[in-house]
């Protein structure tokens, strides 16, 4: 009998949400545009929170400006604060573009950001050439991933231009690691396909060592690429839930107001939307879609990667088969991990996300092939996850650092993936996508289980 979907309890305050704030995700998306400085339109504490999370995960300096609301601006409006912030950022950073994300406070008082920007351009004409995108990202109606996709929609709608038709593909990877972005770029380069990534986090949040501090890091989707975006042949978008968790999109229709939908609406661009390419089956689907779009077939390099992955599955199957896992994180990420774990024989017993879209459970149905129905938790709180964990007694947890205290209590391994990873080095370089990402993740899981068994064995041994 299928277990009911576990809903969030009616707390007066969330104890430990399994999500982060929408402006944080929006700031990450804006960081993927070349020469862009993110501004958070709200209180100073919001930008401090965002900087702290991003710096701790990426181990990079991350400048996030703030309009610095006070009691006065809360009552009379934040327009003057935002104009002054734009002027300061424009004069000090000399940005090519600026990305504004609104907070709960500025959205609640109803600041009219488009009108404020129109006044700003009239009052400070010397900064009128700076491209400005703004996204409505109050955290009371979305997660950090919703904020990320909302920002990408605003980039497309407000900064992208038309151009002559060309053979380029627009790739909308979503909130993945810089290592994932670099790997995806390598795939397109190897296949001889021109692709524009929106955004492009491959360098901006994982730069090499600098001799001198750079206020704006290198990399990102260039202004030229954005201005030519409308001429692309088609788009490929990763994710199924995407930003449907925002209240504005809380309807049964999927993919409304997604980045892909923005390209369709603005430019009439055709495209495809698929789940995150985690594991063999999902990566196969990605290559099949790319082949249909471009006529380019998978190269020998990736055939060999796939073959090595199948070999690894064969070698390690006996160590992972039947193990019981807890998966948590943002919705599309968890959906992709669920398919991957089912593929390798691991049994998901708890599947949890802080997102609250209406598509989470439906998207999971086709991925779950288990003897026992898992506990599926939307709008999850880590305290709720911990309570269920004590009942089902899993063998392993897979997710980001915020779940560590549960793994510590249960004395089981935690495989760190996704965002944020605060208690280990290299969170920005964790590879999740493609055959190579699946290979690394599979061996990390298998080795963690082997190590756990070895450490808890009454007899020391050096061979498996």
Contact 307, 318 (CB under 8 A): no
Per-residue pLDDT at 3: 53
DSSP output for 426-457: -GGG---SHHHHHHHHHHHHHHHHHHHHHHT-
Per-residue pLDDT at 9: 52
Maximum pairwise Cα distance, the chain: 77
* pLDDT at position 464 over 80: no
Q: pLDDT category, 282, cuts 50, 70, 90? A: very high
Per-residue pLDDT at 248: 42
Q: What is the pLDDT averaged over residues 306-331?
A: 97
Kindly tell me the burial class for residue 284, based on how many C-beta atoms sit within 10 Å of its own C-beta (0-12, 13-18, 19 or more). Answer: middle
Lowest-confidence range among 219-233, 288-302, 363-377, 449-463?
363-377
Per-residue pLDDT at 171: 98
Q: What is the pLDDT averaged over residues 311-330?
A: 97
pLDDT digits (tens, 9 = 90+) for 346-404: 999 999 999 988 889 889 988 887 677 899 999 999 999 999 999 999 999 999 999 99
- CA dist 282 and 291 (Å) reads 14
Per-residue pLDDT at 79: 94
Lowest-confidence range among 12-16, 153-157, 178-182, 326-330?
12-16
- CA dist 220 and 18 (Å) reads 29
Per-residue pLDDT at 357: 86
Per-residue pLDDT at 365: 87
* pLDDT at position 199 over 70: yes
pLDDT digits (tens, 9 = 90+) for 209-257: 999 999 999 999 999 999 999 999 999 999 999 988 775 444 444 445 8
Measured between alpha carbons, how far is residue 106 from residues 67, 135, 148, 267, 357 in Å?
Answer: 10, 12, 18, 31, 24
- CA dist 196 and 207 (Å) reads 20
DSSP output for 181-210: HHHHHHHHHHTT--EEESS--TTTTSPPPP
Contact 278, 367 (CB under 8 A): no
Domains in the chain: ranges and CATH: 22-159 (3.40.50.1980), 169-294 (3.40.50.1980), 312-455 (3.40.50.1980)
Per-residue pLDDT at 8: 47
Nearest-5° Cα angle at 278, 137 to 244: 25
β-bridge mates for residue 135, sequence order: 101
* pLDDT at position 116 over 80: yes
Cβ-Cβ contacts under 8 Å for 241 (sequence gap 6 or more): 331, 332, 335, 355, 357, 359, 360, 363
Q: Give the ranges where 345-411 is alpha helix by DSSP (H).
A: 360-365, 382-392, 404-410
Q: pLDDT category, 462, cuts 50, 70, 90? A: confident
Q: Strand locations in 14-124, DSSP E?
A: 36-41, 65-66, 97-102
User: 338 or 73, which is more confident?
Assistant: 338
Report the mean per-residue pLDDT for the chain.
92
Helix (H) or strand (E) holding 316: helix 300-320
Per-residue pLDDT at 2: 46
Q: Tokens 């901006």 correspond to what residue?
A: 204
Per-residue pLDDT at 238: 98
Q: Tokens 């229709």 correspond to what residue?
A: 253
Per-residue pLDDT at 369: 75
Per-residue pLDDT at 256: 56
* pLDDT at position 21 over 50: yes
Per-residue pLDDT at 165: 93
Burial annotation 10-38 (CB, 10 A radius, 16+ → b, else e): eeeeeebbbbbbbbbbbbbbbbbbbbbbb
* pLDDT at position 4 over 70: no
């Amino acid at each position: 009998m299928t277990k009911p979907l576990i809903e969030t309890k009616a707390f007066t305050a969330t104890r430990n949400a399994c999500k982060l704030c929408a402006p944080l995700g929006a700031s990450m998306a804006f960081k993927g545009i070349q020469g862009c400085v993110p501004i958070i339109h709200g209180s100073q504490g919001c930008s401090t929170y965002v900087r702290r999370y991003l710096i701790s995960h990426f181990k990079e300096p991350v400048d996030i400006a703030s309009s610095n609301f006070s009691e006065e601006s809360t009552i009379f409006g934040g327009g003057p604060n935002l104009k002054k912030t734009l002027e300061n950022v424009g004069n000090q950073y000399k940005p090519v573009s600026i990305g504004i994300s609104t907070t709960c406070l500025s959205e609640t008082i109803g600041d009219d950001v488009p009108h404020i920007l129109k006044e700003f351009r009239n009052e400070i004409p010397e900064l009128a050439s700076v491209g400005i995108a703004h996204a409505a990202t109050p955290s009371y109606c979305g997660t950090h991933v919703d904020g990320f996709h909302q920002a990408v929609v605003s980039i497309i709608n407000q900064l992208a231009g038309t151009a002559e038709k060309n053979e380029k593909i627009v790739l909308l990877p979503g909130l993945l690691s810089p290592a994932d972005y670099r790997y995806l770029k390598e795939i397109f380069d190897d296949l001889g396909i021109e692709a524009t990534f929106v955004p492009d986090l491959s360098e901006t949040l994982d730069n090499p060592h600098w001799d001198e501090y750079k206020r704006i890091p290198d990399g990102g989707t260039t202004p030229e690429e954005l201005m030519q975006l409308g001429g692309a042949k088609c788009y490929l978008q990763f994710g199924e839930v995407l930003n449907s968790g925002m209240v504005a999109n809380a309807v049964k229709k999927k993919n409304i107001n997604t980045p892909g939908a923005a390209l369709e609406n603005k430019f009439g661009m055709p495209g495809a939307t698929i789940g995150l390419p985690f594991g063999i089956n999902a990566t196969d689907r990605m290559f099949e879609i790319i082949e249909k779009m471009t006529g380019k077939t998978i190269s020998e390099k990736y055939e060999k990667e796939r073959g090595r992955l199948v070999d690894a599955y064969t070698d390690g199957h006996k160590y992972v088969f039947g193990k019981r896992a807890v998966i948590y994180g943002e919705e599309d990420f968890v959906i992709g991990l669920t398919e991957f774990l089912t593929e390798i024989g691991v049994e998901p017993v708890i599947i949890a996300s802080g997102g609250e879209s209406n598509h989470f459970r439906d998207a999971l149905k086709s991925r779950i092939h288990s003897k026992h129905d898992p506990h599926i938790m939307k709008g999850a709180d880590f305290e709720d996850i911990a309570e269920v964990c004590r009942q089902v007694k899993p063998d392993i947890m897979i997710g980001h650092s915020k779940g560590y205290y549960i793994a510590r209590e249960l004395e089981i391994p935690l495989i760190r993936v996704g965002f944020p990873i605060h208690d280990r080095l290299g969170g920005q370089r964790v590879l999740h996508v493609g055959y190579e990402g699946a290979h690394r993740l599979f061996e990390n899981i298998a080795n963690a289980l082997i190590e756990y068994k070895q450490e808890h064995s009454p007899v020391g041994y050096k061979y498996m």
